[in-house]
Amino acid sequence: MNSRIRRTLSEAASTPDYNRKDQFIRAYRRTYARTRISTIDIIRNQFGYIRMSVWLISLVALAVAIWGINEDSEVVFAVSAIMPFVSGIAVFDFLRSGMYEMTELESVTYVSKRGILFARFICIGVAHIALVALLAFIVGKQSSYGCLMTGAMLTIPYLLSSITSMELERTTIGRKNAMGCIIVSAIVSGIMIVLNNERWFFAEINQGVWYIAAIVLIIMECIEIKKTFRWEEYAWN
């Protein structure tokens, strides 16, 4: 930590007089009671800290879907190739603290690191659930696969990228190379592009497998999110 940041922190939170500890604690409690932040406030504030790239890639997926349904009834394959980047860039955004070596400072601020992660998961998670549902409806109406199968075809690459990126984050390589999330997204996207030429893979007889795979990945995603919060708890135990 450089001297300028250290000086700023010392000015923002001066060391209390040990002999007046009780008075300091009472004053802090009064201040804390007046400035208590609700969960809604934390979530609303975190919207401003999420980078524009997270929202832009979501808008790109939506724009491709809207434009593509007028040009190609099977635009679902193009959109499914974009979905890994939608989740990969979101996970990449969660790594900013580690990239700028601010994790320790962020973990001991007024709102804990777990609280910040929770707020960001809510902000991005709700937006992405709405995005997938909207894309499944828009694309599925024009596609021969229908809305349900289209939803599975969009959800699976999204979750594959998200789960793999979160697992990668917990490794030494992942912590030192935040761009690994983008590489994972590119690999998953490439797989979806290759499968585009294997239309038998999406035949009606195989749709049950896609539904089961989507459900399994949703469960795995929930487990990964839970592991992320536990990781923060163990780090500061």
- pLDDT-derived band of residue 235, with 50, 70 and 90 as boundaries? very low
pLDDT tens figures, 44-60? 777 777 888 888 998 99
Q: How many CB atoms lie within 10 A of CB 54?
A: 21
Q: Distance between CA atoms of 218 and 20, rounded to whole angstroms? A: 53
Is 163 part of a structural domain of the chain?
Answer: yes
Is 80 part of a structural domain of the chain?
Answer: yes
pLDDT tens figures, 198-230? 777 787 788 889 999 999 999 999 998 888 777
- pLDDT above 90: percentage of residues in the chain: 23
**Integer CA distances (angstroms), 124 to 49, 118, 214, in order:** 11, 10, 19
Is 56 part of a structural domain of the chain?
Answer: yes
Supply the DSSP symbol for 70: T
Is 14 part of a structural domain of the chain?
Answer: no
For residue 173, the one-letter residue type is: I
Residues 6 or more apart from 209 whose CB is under 8 A from it?
none
Q: What is the pLDDT of residue 201?
A: 79
Q: How far apart are the first and last CA of the chain?
A: 23
Q: Distance between CA atoms of 142 and 135, rounded to whole angstroms? A: 11
- pLDDT-derived band of residue 236, with 50, 70 and 90 as boundaries? very low
Q: What is the pLDDT of residue 186?
A: 93
Q: What is the pLDDT of residue 154?
A: 93
Q: What is the pLDDT of residue 142?
A: 80
**Count of structural domains within the chain:** 1
Say whether pLDDT at 101 is over 60. Answer: no
Q: Single out the residue of 35, 174, 37, 13 nearest to residue 118, CA to CA.
A: 37
Is 140 part of a structural domain of the chain?
Answer: yes
pLDDT tens figures, 166-175? 888 777 777 6
Is 30 part of a structural domain of the chain?
Answer: no
The two tokens of residue 220 are: 């795995």
Is 87 part of a structural domain of the chain?
Answer: yes
Is 25 part of a structural domain of the chain?
Answer: no
Q: What is the pLDDT of residue 33?
A: 55
Q: Please, what sign has the CA dihedral across residues 224, 91, 125, 136?
A: negative
Say whether pLDDT at 109 is over 70. Answer: no
Per the CB < 8 A criterion, the answer to whether 129 and 122 are in contact is: no
The two tokens of residue 211 are: 């539904």
Q: Please, what sign has the CA dihedral across residues 120, 123, 126, 129?
A: negative
Summarize the confidence of residues 164-186 as an average pLDDT.
81
Per the CB < 8 A criterion, the answer to whether 58 and 86 are in contact is: yes
Say whether pLDDT at 108 is over 60. Answer: no
- What domain range is 56 assigned to? 38-235
Residues 6 or more apart from 172 whose CB is under 8 A from it?
none
Output the average pLDDT for the chain.
79
Q: What is the pLDDT of residue 234?
A: 47
